[in-house]
Structures are given as C-alpha cells and as structure tokens.
Amino acid sequence: MSLGFQVNSLMSTSASPEERVQVLILGSGPAGLAAALYAGRAELNPVVLTGLEVGGQVTLTEIIENYPGFPDGVKGPELAERFKKQAERFGARLVMDVATEVDLKQRPLVVKTYSTTYLADVLIIATGASPRKLNVPGEEEYTGRGVSYCATCDGWFFQDKDVIVVGGGDSAVEEGLFLTRYARTVTIVHRRDQLRAGPLLQRRARANPKIKYLFNTVVEEILGDGEQVTGVRLKNLKTGEVYEKPIDGVFIFVGYIPNTKLFEGQLELDERGYIKVHDWVYTNIPGVFAAGEVADPVYRQVITSAGMGAAAAIAAGHYLDEVLFSQEQAQKASESAS
C-alpha cells in the first residue's frame, strides 16, 4: 500500500538518493520502537531513523523498576534491546541515521538525512528530549572531564570521590542514589528548600548515609585546573553567601528540553518547545504524529512513551486507510463521470 501523492520535493535538487516509505519513524526510544512494533504488525513497513544511538534515554538508565512485566526490574539497555528485537521481528527496518531537514508541507512528507531523502506518507516523531544545561561558566569546558549528565555512563569514574548532583527532581535523586555505589559522598545541590522528587525516592535518599544536601543553593561556576573539575562556586540564595567547594564531579539533572528544533516553523509547538498534540498523538499536520517525551512534558515514563508510540502507529494506520479510501472514492467518481 502506498499513497498516490505526486512527488514535488523542494529538496529534489539534492544529490542524496530518494527512498519512498509508507511510515517513517524518527527516534528509537520506547516511543519510536513501540510505534515501529505496532506499525510493523499492521504491515505498514516502518522505517526507523534511530539517531546516533539505538534506544534513547532508556539506555542511560541502570535499572527500570516501573515497567510492567519485570517484577525484579530490568536494565535499561536490555529493555531497549528487547524493544528493538520485537519491532524487527515484525518487519521494522532500523537505519542508523539522523534527520537533518524536514518539509511537512509537501506530500509525500520529506525528511532529509545525512545520506538519504525519505519521502513518507506518514511521519511519527519520537525524537525525545535532551538534558537541560545549567549554562554556567565551566560547564561546557569540563563536560566529559568531571561534568556529566548521565550517572549510569560516568558514575564508575568517581570511585571514592566526592561529587555533587544538581537538581531536586526524581532524576537528581535517582541518579544521586545510583552514584552512591561509587562515590564517597554525593551532595544534592538544590535551588529550593525542599526536593521535588517523589516520596519513595526521598525516603531511599534519606536512608543513605552517603547523600548530603545543600538547599537554597545554586552553582554559579564550575571550576577546574584546565584538565579536570576541581570544584564549584556556589551561592546560598537565602544568605547571599558565595563560596567555593572542592569537588571531583558535577552531575546535572535539571530537567530536559524536547528535541524539536527541526520542526520549528512547521509544526505547532508549545512555549517550552514540546510538540502540541490533540487526541494524544495527532499534531496539527495530517499524517504527522508525535509520541513520547517530544510531546509529553508531564508523564515522561517508559510506559507512557511506549503507549504513545503504539497509539501513534494505530492512528497512522487509520490515517492511511482514510486517505486511501477517499482516493478510491475519487477514482470511482471520476470513472463513472467519464
């Protein structure tokens, strides 16, 4: 099944080869891979552009304890691998490539990558979200040299070291707890006087003697010796006191930013940059659906993202059926008129 749209690509002057697909999925986190599974089982021949890594943020999570079906928890990379295998079993094709340009006014929809121009009947956007930066001096300079946004990836390097975790939400506390496996102390630096994280995580953190707190405190600068982080300049927001704290690592968990730059000016986004959806997964452009954290600033769970992915694929099937049905009707009408 392929829709009989006329190809009228703005990008057809490009040298990259064109590939015609029915359902193109951007992103390979839980939303993208669940969409691929459902679209595969519906025989919609989905192609998934995985981005630079397959699995999305879930692969950065040590253990996931709240995905049903895994009573003892499951390692993030293992869950991602299971999602991938299951989608591939039903015919989804995963391509390690990155969308660099889209044109959603065209029919078929045009998505350009480093190597190929895809012409798609349906697009499911599941590009997820990326860690928000603190935007303080030293942050960029020392990223990978003491500054990190992923405890699972980098925690091991901080055996018996002293680290700070910036932020007060679930991510900060969960990742802080994980870091206590390696670090000597983990100090949670939070700008308010209480954590935002849920009660279970807070209880676990309180019970852990390695975790310390600096409330009403912000990081003003990350300090280093040119090679590695050596400390931070902190400010107490209550007293105004500014002081330096020697530290080996700075883990930053202050929320996420949706990956929607590619769609600015083409899709309706909210004031924070999330794709606006109605009926869970429908964007303002017919045939373009969004799933997972790129369109969900609220729930942001593996299960909710996977659920949105499944819904997007089902909605894509309905859309293709409707378009094909109206094309057939139009064909019949023109045949009986002639």
The site for ligand NAP (CB under 6 A) is made up of 66, 134, 166-172, 174, 191-192, 196, 218, 253-256, 300
Question: What residues contact residue 336 under an 8 Å CB cut-off, 6+ apart?
Answer: none
Q: How far is the CB of 246 from ligand NAP (least distance, A)?
A: 20
Annotation says 154 is catalytic? yes
Question: What residues contact residue 139 under an 8 Å CB cut-off, 6+ apart?
Answer: 133, 147, 222, 250, 252
Pairing mode of beta strands 162-166, 249-252: parallel
In Å, what is the CA distance from 197 to each residue of 152, 169, 278?
19, 4, 28
Distance CA 79, CA 130 (A): 20
Tokens (6 digits) for 184: 């000597």
Sequence length of the chain is 338
Distance CA 18, CA 110 (A): 10
Distance CA 215, CA 168 (A): 9
Q: How far is the CB of 174 from ligand NAP (least distance, A)?
A: 5
Annotation says 162 is catalytic? no
In Å, what is the CA distance from 213 to each residue of 83, 166, 183, 241?
37, 10, 15, 16
Nearer to ligand NAP, 137 or 255 (CB): 255
Q: How far is the CB of 1 from ligand NAP (least distance, A)?
A: 38
Nearer to ligand NAP, 108 or 231 (CB): 231
Question: What residues contact residue 318 under an 8 Å CB cut-off, 6+ apart?
Answer: none
Q: How far is the CB of 153 from ligand NAP (least distance, A)?
A: 15
Nearest residue by C-beta to ligand NAP?
Answer: 169
For residue 297, is the peptide bond before it cis, meaning its omega torsion is within 30 degrees of 0? no
Q: How far is the CB of 192 from ligand NAP (least distance, A)?
A: 4
For residues 258 and 294, the answer to whether their CB atoms sit within 8 Å is: yes
Centroid of chain to Cα 140 = 21
Catalytic residue among 72, 103, 121, 150: 150
Alpha-helix runs per DSSP H in 72-165: 76-89, 151-154
Nearer to ligand NAP, 3 or 257 (CB): 257
Nearer to ligand NAP, 40 or 249 (CB): 249
Annotation says 153 is catalytic? yes
Q: How far is the CB of 66 from ligand NAP (least distance, A)?
A: 6
Nearer to ligand NAP, 30 or 46 (CB): 30
For residues 289 and 312, the answer to whether their CB atoms sit within 8 Å is: yes
Place of tokens 């928000």: 132
Distance CA 85, CA 124 (A): 19
Catalytic residue among 154, 162, 248, 296: 154
In Å, what is the CA distance from 93 to each residue of 19, 24, 40, 55, 312?
13, 10, 9, 14, 17
Nearer to ligand NAP, 62 or 88 (CB): 62
Q: How far is the CB of 179 from ligand NAP (least distance, A)?
A: 14
Nearer to ligand NAP, 15 or 298 (CB): 298
Catalytic residue among 153, 193, 225, 321: 153
Catalytic positions are 150, 153-154
